Amino acid sequence: MAFLELIDVVKHFGRHTAVQGFTLSAQEGELISFLGGSGCGKTTTLRMIAGFEVPTAGRILISGRDVVPVAPNRRGVGMVFQNYALFPNMTVARNIGFGLRVAGRPGSEISRRVDEMLELIHMSEFRERYPHQMSGGQQQRVALARALAIRPSVLLLDEPLSALDAKIRVRLRAEIRAIQRSLGITTIYVTHDQEEALSISDRIVVMKDGRIEQVGTPFEIYNRPATGFVASFIGSSNALRAVAVHPEQGTASVDGQEISAARPLPALAGQEVRLQIRPEAISLHNGVAHNNHLRGTLVNVVFLGSIVRLVVSTGGSELMLDMFNNPHLALPEVGSTVTVGFAPEACVPLETNGE
């Protein structure tokens, strides 16, 4: 049985629908990211789990118990906020021990738990500091320790790293994941950063306009996007416009050149279909055997450091392909005719209801 369940959750703000038909089951110890752009409903959904917003319809179950009628302070849900939300009038130790003091735990237990939490976040020497005496990264670690100190049944993180600089973000997300794994706590992580979601999650929920676009593991979301939106939102990708030739066999025509996908196409013969191919799945035809080949003109070469991105025009479409950079890389001239190749498995037909 799932530990955290959202069943057909809907949220309206006046006439605006923020979340619609949201259904999700999270297993105990799972870390699920809600990923999407601004206004997609990810934070609203998180706030409904926390109890700060009341769903217009639907149920939210934690360990089988419907928590919708339960006040936020009685849900046993820990929350970490984007801007840390540490209490400025309290030291680190008092911030971490706040939830336990409120619960009326004995002083010795509070002190022991605070020590444990400080050790967990490697900040024992910061015990008596005030929030304003620490950096953003340190404050967020304390906020995490404070949320965990009460031993919550579910941990909610609302874009916890978005106020931090890039290096700290990468380091802290690894720490958060390690702590989450070591405690085995069911966690919902809201982010608009796809790299963050891909690197930290057991599963990702991609959202758009209050709806779930796709739920899957990072591998599934990246390699088998269900919709055009997911394909375009996660990583770089080519969305080729093609005409279905033998849809059941997965063959389609791109500017008169036939290619095949590993899956049947969601269109009838003669209808337009969109095929998603990641730039790193395409290579210049240099003797490597590929089932799919497309001839075109090299229109641009972009140097991106560790990779070199080539843009090839097939006439009606443009394809990006990425090659690892190395000092001996010999690239064709811009304007020359090239052949690119890719495997049928790399060619993912997109659902027509997507972007």
Partner 1 sequence: MSTTMTARSFAAPGAAARRRKGWSSLWLVLGGLYFFLPLLATFLFSLHGKKGALSFIAYAHVFRDPEFLHTFSFSLEMAVVTIAAGLALMIPTAIWVNLRLPRARALIEVFALLPFVIPPIVLVFGLIRMYSRPPVMLVTSPVLLIAGYVVLSFPYIFRSVDAGLRAIDLRVLTEAAQSLGARWSTTLFRVVLPNIRVSVLSAAFLTFSIVVGELTLAVMLAWPAFGPYMALVGRDLAYEPAALAVISFLLTWGSLAVIQLASRGGRGQGPTAGGVH
Binding region for partner 1 (CB under 8 A)? 50-52, 71-79, 81, 83, 85-90, 98-99, 102-103, 130-138, 143, 146-147, 150, 156, 168
CB nearer partner 1, residue 157 or residue 340: 157
CB nearer partner 1, residue 51 or residue 296: 51
CB nearer partner 1, residue 78 or residue 354: 78
Q: Which residue has the tokens 């066999």?
A: 249
Instruction: Give the nearest distance from C-beta 92 to partner 1 in angstroms.
Output: 12
Please check whether residue 183 is in contact with residue 28, taking contact to mean a CB–CB distance below 8 angstroms.
no
Please check whether residue 183 is in contact with residue 148, taking contact to mean a CB–CB distance below 8 angstroms.
yes
CB nearer partner 1, residue 71 or residue 268: 71
Instruction: Give the nearest distance from C-beta 87 to partner 1 in angstroms.
Output: 5
Angle, helix 136-149 to helix 107-120, in steps of 10 degrees: 130
CB nearer partner 1, residue 134 or residue 319: 134
Integer angstrom CA distances of residue 341 from 21, 69, 277: 41, 57, 11
SS3 labels along 61-107: EECCEECCCCCHHHCCEEEECCCCCCCCCCCHHHHHHHHHHHCCCCH
Give the H/E segment covering residue 138. helix 136-149
Instruction: Give the nearest distance from C-beta 192 to partner 1 in angstroms.
Output: 18
Instruction: Give the nearest distance from C-beta 12 to partner 1 in angstroms.
Output: 18
Across 136-230, the runs of DSSP E, i.e. the strands, are 154-158, 186-191, 203-208, 211-216
Instruction: Give the nearest distance from C-beta 98 to partner 1 in angstroms.
Output: 5
Instruction: Give the nearest distance from C-beta 18 to partner 1 in angstroms.
Output: 17
Please check whether residue 19 is in contact with residue 11, taking contact to mean a CB–CB distance below 8 angstroms.
yes
CB nearer partner 1, residue 163 or residue 308: 163
CB nearer partner 1, residue 34 or residue 342: 34
Instruction: Give the nearest distance from C-beta 79 to partner 1 in angstroms.
Output: 4
Integer angstrom CA distances of residue 295 from 183, 215, 258, 334, 337: 53, 35, 11, 14, 7
Instruction: Give the nearest distance from C-beta 105 to partner 1 in angstroms.
Output: 10
Instruction: Give 270's Cβ-side CA count (13 Å radius).
Output: 0
Contacts of 51 (CB under 8 A, 6+ apart): 67, 70, 71, 72, 75, 77
Strand, coil or helix: 8: strand
CB nearer partner 1, residue 87 or residue 219: 87
